[in-house]
Amino acid sequence: MSTRPARFALGLAAVLLTGLAAHPALAQDGPAVRALSVDLGDAQRAHLWRVGAWGVANAVGGAALWLASSPETSAGWRAFGLQSAAWGAVNTGIAAFGLAGGAGDPAADWAAALGAENGYADVLLVNLGLNVGYAAVGATLWAVSGRGVADPAAWRGHGIALVIQGAGLFVLDGIAYLGTRARLGALVDLANGASITAGPGGVALVVGL
For 57-79, write each residue's pLDDT tens digit: 999 999 999 999 988 889 999 99
Could you state, in order of their start, the residue ranges of all structural domains in the chain? 30-206
Mean pLDDT of the chain: 83
Q: Residue 1: is its pLDDT beyond 50?
A: no
Per-residue pLDDT at 30? 78
CB 109 within 8 A of CB 27: yes
Per-residue pLDDT at 194? 56
Q: Residue 126: name the closest of 169, 165, 85, 91 by CA.
A: 169
Per-residue pLDDT at 143? 93
**119: exposed, middle or buried (Cβ count in 10 Å: 0-12, 13-18, 19+):** exposed
What is the rounded distance in angstroms from the CA atom of residue 171 to the CA atom of residue 110? 29
Instruction: List the single range of 14-28, 34-48, 126-140 with lowest mean pLDDT.
Output: 14-28
22-50 as b/e: b if 16+ CB within 10 A: ebebeeeebebbbebbebbbebbeebbeb
Assign 102 to helix, strand or coil: coil
CB 155 within 8 A of CB 149: yes
Structure pTM? 0.78
- Tell me the pLDDT tens digit for each residue of 165-194: 999 999 999 999 999 999 999 988 887 765
What is the rounded distance in angstroms from the CA atom of residue 134 to the CA atom of residue 131? 5
Please count the helices (runs of H) and the strands (runs of E) in the chain: 5, 2
